[in-house]
Amino acid sequence: MDAVLIMVLTFIGYLLAYKLYGQFVGKKIFALSNANKTPSHEFEDGKDYVPTRKGIIFGHHYTSIAGTGPIVGPAIGIIWGWVPALIWVLVGTIVMGAVHDIGALILSMRNQGKSISEITARYINPRARTLFFIIVLLELWIVIAIFGLVIAVIFSMYPQSVFPVWCEIPIAILLGYIIYKKGGNLNLYTFLAVVVMYITVILGHFLPISLPVIGTMAATGTWTIILLIYAYIASTLPVTTLLQPRDYINSWQLIVAMVLLVVGILASGFTGKLHIVAPAVQTHPEAAPSMWPFLFITIACGAISGFHSLVASGTSAKQIDKEEDAVFVGYGAMLMEGVLATLVIIAVAAGIGIAYQTKDAGVLTGTAAWSAHYKSWTAAAGLGSKVGAFVEGSANMIAVVGIPKAFAVIIMGVFVASFAGTTLDTATRIQRYVVQELAADAKIGFLKNKYSATAFAVITALILAFATGASGTGALKLWPLFGAVNQTLAGLALITITLYLKQSYKDARYLIAGIPALFMVVMTSWALIANEGNFVTAKNGLLMVVNGVIIIVVLWLVIEGLMALFGKREEAKSEA
């Protein structure tokens, strides 16, 4: 019953937050009005700028920001205890993450759909824009390479998920064609698309697909190449062809998965099978870094994530139909991500205790099951370990409802892979926008073209992925930097939002973003400096140099932001 009570209370908290704080932020802080013309109407081109119903754009935005972030972060962050993990997810989502997301979305909507990097030039100065671009390029470079690997690992762990994940593509294209070209009934064809999608999930159980080793290339390497080729194609197509409809049906897949999880938690809780088996607080797990500041870096998506500002100002701002829709899309989607992160915490804090299969000790239950998986930082930190903890815990709870565990595993495996796929193609499209913006500033003609800019994004990700060999795991070399870089981006985006509010309204409302900005800058700077010490001790020259550059960029941007905040700002509206 403890897990059930946690779920109910946090869900009530998210609902109240949307009704009270979310509406307050939209109406009173940002003064949203449907009288303001959005970029989707001002620059409508049928490709990138497309006015979209808020339900559909919510689906795209939510599945793009979520990915596997709110799964892998909480699944490892719980090693410090379920209480600090849950508090950070709940509080962080409501007062930091959702404010960050809606703020980035509105800033882009009020600046012609430009990226958060480009907008920085207007509210700080052009020099800050260049520095911001460095952080953004690095983040997206790692994201594209690592999410290709994430999906490849899931395909290797759960070969039954391969068939249904790839079937989503023709289903989405057909749905988009029927809705946009033929004017089909959205509700009817959404229902049919979701039904067909779950039929493919059942078929996947009988049609597992595993790739063989090709020469010296492992299956993960082959999958990474295939997935990045897909990302290139998906990211150059008009958003209504694949991106929107796929993200939309994936949002329904998420709803189904979350409903199954909620029902599973209720059923297993009321039958006495579900109990919290993770420690409430564990300040010194074996070989783990300090909870402060690393909890706030490890759990990013699900609390606050800088990647969200790139999605909000990269694709979503170009598709919002009416300005007031930003509350539902920006603030609401972040709260829903918090809901998902909460369910993940319950799955790995309680669901894993129902039954946990080990390699040598057989099936463990209760505290022994949790301890076996989280016996040390090293044991819990692997990519497969993070995903596996969530999938196994979720499948245990869903199986209580009567769905065979084998099918529950496939449902959750497909769910995780599909979300990673939406993040992959959205990140590739955003990187293309960033490269095109940089090319326009630097007057590099051939990179202004969307095909060459997308090729640049994909080829550089391929180079990183295969930097260590044919396995496609090269991005793991830079993965230790990702958490701090991502949260640094969140802090910097909040600084820009703070400056926008201060310069636009001349009152104290800027503090609603300014206080979260201060917290995130302190936490991420602390983590970056701590990491630098670890890299120096380990004599890891690559990470030491890259992390050192990030520290310099962050400190520089913070100084530029403080100068702008207190009046010493270079006028940069013309450059923006």
* Residue 297 placed within a domain: yes
Q: How would DSSP label each residue in 236-265? A: HS-TTTTHHHHHHHHHHHHHHHHHHHHHHH
Question: Tell me: the pLDDT tens digits for 508-537?
Answer: 999 999 999 999 999 999 999 999 999 999
pLDDT at 573: 45
Q: Is the pLDDT of residue 40 over 50?
A: yes
Q: Are 38 and 111 in contact (CB under 8 A)?
A: no
The CATH number of residue 151's host domain is 1.20.1740.10
Of the listed ranges 73-87, 476-490, 539-553, the least confidently predicted one is 476-490
Whether 31 maps to a domain, the answer reads: yes
Tokens of 155: 């395909």
What is the C-alpha to C-alpha distance for residues 93 and 399, in angstroms, rounded to an integer?
A: 30
SS3 assignment, position 364: strand
Secondary structure tally for the chain: helices H, strands E: 25, 2
Closest alpha carbon to 393 in 297, 274, 298: 274
Of 508, 554, 503, 507, the closest CA to residue 528 belongs to 554
- CA angle, residues 378, 383, 385, in degrees to nearest 5: 65
Q: Which domain holds residue 346?
A: 2-565
Q: Which residue has the higher pLDDT, 571 or 283?
A: 283
Report the amino acid identity of residue 562.
L
**Range 378-390 average pLDDT:** 68
Distance separating alpha carbons of residues 3 and 345, to the nearest angstrom: 10
Average pLDDT, integer, range 342-367: 84
The residue among 10 and 69 whose pLDDT is bigger is 10
Is residue 315 in some structural domain?
yes
Label residue 1 by pLDDT band (50, 70, 90). low
Q: What pLDDT score was predicted for residue 113?
A: 92
pTM: 0.90
Nearest 5°: phi and psi at 357? -85, 120
Q: Does residue 574 fall inside a structural domain? A: no
pLDDT of residue 493: 94
* For range 436-441, the mean pLDDT: 84
Write b or e for each residue in 555-576: b if 16 or more Cβ atoms lie within 10 A of its Cβ, otherwise e: eebbebbeebbeeebeebeeeb
Burial 271-290 (b: 16+ CB within 10 A, else e): eebbbbbbbeebeebeebbe
Least-confidence region, from 374-383, 442-451, 487-496: 374-383
Tally of CB atoms within 10 A around 496: 29
Q: Is the pLDDT of residue 293 over 90?
A: yes
Q: Is 572 among the domain residues? A: no
Q: DSSP letter at 317? A: G
Q: pLDDT-based confidence at 169, cuts 50/70/90?
A: very high
Does some domain include residue 575? Answer: no
Angle among Cα 344, 379, 361 to the nearest 5 degrees reads: 95
Task: Flag whether 488 is in a domain.
Answer: yes
Q: Which residue has the higher pLDDT, 441 or 449?
A: 449
Mean pLDDT over 436-442 rounds to 84
pLDDT digits (tens, 9 = 90+) for 271-290: 888 889 999 999 888 888 89
The single-letter DSSP state of residue 289 is P
Q: Is the pLDDT of residue 137 over 80?
A: yes
Beta strands in 70-194 (DSSP E): none
| Bond into 293 cis (ω within 30) | yes
Range in 4-13, 98-107, 547-556 the model is least confident about: 547-556
* Domain-located, residue 152: yes
Average pLDDT along the chain? 89
The number of folded domains in the chain is 1
Residue 570: per-residue pLDDT: 52
Between 128-137, 311-320, 377-386, 429-438, the lowest mean confidence (pLDDT) is in 377-386
Answer whether residue 575 shows pLDDT above 50: no
Q: How far is CA 466 from the centre of its chain?
A: 23
| Whole-angstrom distance, CA of residue 364 vs CA of residue 380 | 16
Give residue 568's pLDDT. 53
Tokens 């497969």 locate to 384
pLDDT (0 to 100) of residue 285: 87
The dihedral through the CA atoms of 115, 117, 121, 127 has a sign that is negative
Confidence at residue 103, expressed as pLDDT on a 0 to 100 scale: 97
The CA dihedral of 392, 398, 403, 407, to the nearest 10 degrees, is -30
Flag whether pLDDT at 574 surpasses 50: no
Tokens of 503: 């310069």
Mean pLDDT of the 170-198 span: 92
Name the band, by pLDDT with cuts 50, 70 and 90, for residue 392: confident
What is the secondary structure of 438-477 as a DSSP string? HHHHHT-GGGGSHHHHHHHHHHHHHHHHTTT-TTS-GGGG
Whole-angstrom distance, CA of residue 60 vs CA of residue 81: 32
Token pair 């007062």 is at which residue?
Answer: 95
Q: What angle do CA 122, 322, 440 make, to 5 degrees?
A: 35
- In single-letter form, the type of residue at position 458 comes to V
- Return d(Cα 39, Cα 62) in angstroms, integer: 20
Q: What is the mean pLDDT of residues 96-118?
A: 94
Give the pair of three-digit tokens for residue 455. Answer: 């090729």
Is-contact 314 433, C-beta < 8 A? yes
